[in-house]
Structure 1
Amino acid sequence: MPRKPSYDRDALIAQARDIFWRQGWAGTSLKDLERALNLKPGSFYAAFGSKDALYALTLERYAQDGVARLMAMADEMGPLRALKAQPHLVIDAGAVPTHACMLAKTYAELQAKGHELADKASGHMVEMKECFATLFRRAQQAGEIGPDHDPDRLAARYQSDILGLRLSAERNDVNAAEIAADIASDLDRL
């Protein structure tokens, strides 16, 4: 009878997500992961199969957590208020490995190499954009934004603004709080 693992797989995925988010795919070695997760090579492969398989799990967790957090905010405060709050949350994120988006970082790092993880990151960014579009549609149905706006186009622009904000929040020469306030106030003009 196989022995039950003595680790919490979900906790290891969350820990690995933070390592990959901070250091990127190329900047994180298998030895880094084994050491940080306190796993021997055989246990690592039994748990995750490969570095790429673990990375894919961390991308999925990152994306699912982001969508769930935003949708919960929308259920609590309404779609438009949630969209307006999101830019402020990006810069006030607290103890995150980096403000930059893990999905965008992965795509930028790996798409030129034709790596399949770039496609996974891109797919998750599409899901996030669809989440934004859903919230813009809900806001439109609630009469919070005008009927002449295309929710898909608003979502694409909003995602672009948020991705730029996340990179700006990494820089010392940019006032990311002002940019976040501008993104939020722009939504009042819809």
Structure 2
Amino acid sequence: MPRKPNYDRTDLINRSRDLFWQRGWAGTSLKDLEAVLQMKPGSFYAAFGSKDALFELAMEKYASDGLDRLKALVEEQGALKALQRFPMMAIDNDDAPAKACMLSKTLLELQAHKHPLAKQANQHLLRMESRFADLFAQAQSSGEIDAAHDSEVLARRYQSDLLGLRVSAEREDVDARAIATEIADSLVRL
């Protein structure tokens, strides 16, 4: 009878997500993962199969956590207020290993190499953009945003603003909080 693993898989995925988020795919070696996860090579391969497979799980966790935070914010404050609050939330997490988005970092790092993980990162970004479009459409239905705007165009621009904001938050010479406020304020004028 096979032994039951003596580790918490979710915790391992969370720890690997943080390492990948901070260092990127190429900057994270198997030795780094083994050290952070406190696993020997055989256990690592038995649990996850490969670095790419673990990265995929970590990226999925990152994306689903972002969608969950947005969903909770919408339930608490409504569509428009959630869209206004989300930029500040994206940069105010002091526990995050990096301010820049893990998905965009992955896309930029791996796209030139045509790595399959780049395509998956893009799929996660498209899912988030689609959720933003839904929220803009909800705000239009409630009369908070002019219905003359295309919700998909608004979502694409909003996501682009968020990605730029998160890169700016990595810089010490930029007031990212002021930019987040500008993004939020611009939504009122729609």
With the length of structure 2 as denominator, give the TM-score of the two structures.
0.99
How far residue 96 of structure 1 moved from its aligned partner, in angstroms, is 0.5
Tell me the equivalent position of 2:99: 99
Q: Which one-letter code corresponds to 2:189 in the other structure?
A: R
Q: Which one-letter code corresponds to 1:177 in the other structure?
A: R
SS at match of 1:169: helix
Q: Which one-letter code corresponds to 1:119 in the other structure?
A: K
SS at match of 2:170: coil
CA-to-partner distance for each residue in 1:62-117, whole Å, 9 max, x for gaps?
00110111011101100000000011112211210000000000000000001000
Q: Which one-letter code corresponds to 1:56 in the other structure?
A: E
Misfit runs of 4+, over 3 Å? none
How far residue 24 of structure 1 moved from its aligned partner, in angstroms, is 0.3
How far residue 174 of structure 1 moved from its aligned partner, in angstroms, is 0.8
CA-to-partner distance for each residue in 1:5-28, whole Å, 9 max, x for gaps?
000001100000000000000000
CA-to-partner distance for each residue in 1:39-69, whole Å, 9 max, x for gaps?
1111101110000000000111100110111
Tell me the equivalent position of 1:168: 168
The 5 Å alignment of 1:87-126 reads 87-126=87-126
CA-to-partner distance for each residue in 1:108-162, whole Å, 9 max, x for gaps?
0000001000000000000010110111111111111011011100000000000
Tell me the equivalent position of 2:47: 47
- How many pairs were matched up? 190
Distance in 2, matches of 1:163 and 1:25, equals 19
Distance in 2, matches of 1:162 and 1:15, equals 24
Distance in 1, matches of 2:34 and 2:155, equals 39
Q: Which one-letter code corresponds to 1:36 in the other structure?
A: V
Is 2:180 the counterpart of 1:180?
Answer: yes
Unpaired segments of 5 or more residues in structure 2? none
The 5 Å alignment of 1:132-171 reads 132-171=132-171
Distance in 1, matches of 2:93 and 2:34, equals 27
